[in-house]
Structure 1
Amino acid sequence: MARRIVKKIGKKMKKSMAKKWVKDYQKANPKAELNGYLYGKDILETLCNYPGSEGIWIFKGLNDEKKECLVLFPADADGNILDRKMKSLGAAVSELRDGDDDDPANNGDPCPPKCPGGFG
């Protein structure tokens, strides 16, 4: 099996198809507490500019209030989570330690209540 190039994972799609997929999900899950999150350019660029970053892992998590959230980590060319403090770049999420500039990201604006027109 050929090795995937992490920085090339994902692709653009037609706007009409993207809107359809979101609407289909919302119809199938009318009681869903959240439909999406908004993250700013600054935090995304910070993760993308992390030394060795070729992508971003996005995991579902539960915050301290036990509400669903997303947690973002920079990933290396092999898809491993990056953390300068770890000896192994492939270390498990449970081994991440708190620090300064290389912490994971969260705190996106949830939808609802902060939804773009037609997506709430």
Structure 2
Amino acid sequence: MAGNIEIIHSGQVLFDFGNKIDKCFILQRGVVRIRSREGELLSSIAPNTMFGFTELLAGKSVRETRAVCESAGSVVSFSSEILQDKLAEFDAQRKQLLEQLAAQIIQQTS
């Protein structure tokens, strides 16, 4: 999986509500918080965690969450097309299971 290492800064918004889902991320260093439109904390991302893909798995094309860097650090960013290509290799049942899990996660955090 090819990706780009990006330096992140405290307060930086990695993605925001309504953005096209064109990137996914792996946090290398730092802390990132995912929040709902209402400002509710949905997730605190720790290093070595992939994020920014849940809505994509649920079939969404635009973001319904905001990711804000709480501290300086770095991420590996990669095109969401890479993830979509990998998902296309899954058989239909596995892909459906992932989509259902993503939908449940989104529903529970909305």
Name the TM-score, length of structure 1 as normaliser: 0.25
Structure with greater proportional helix content: 2
Larger radius of gyration: 1
Structure with greater proportional strand content: 2
Structure with more contact order per residue of length (Cα contacts < 8 Å, sep ≥ 6): 2
Name the TM-score, length of structure 2 as normaliser: 0.26
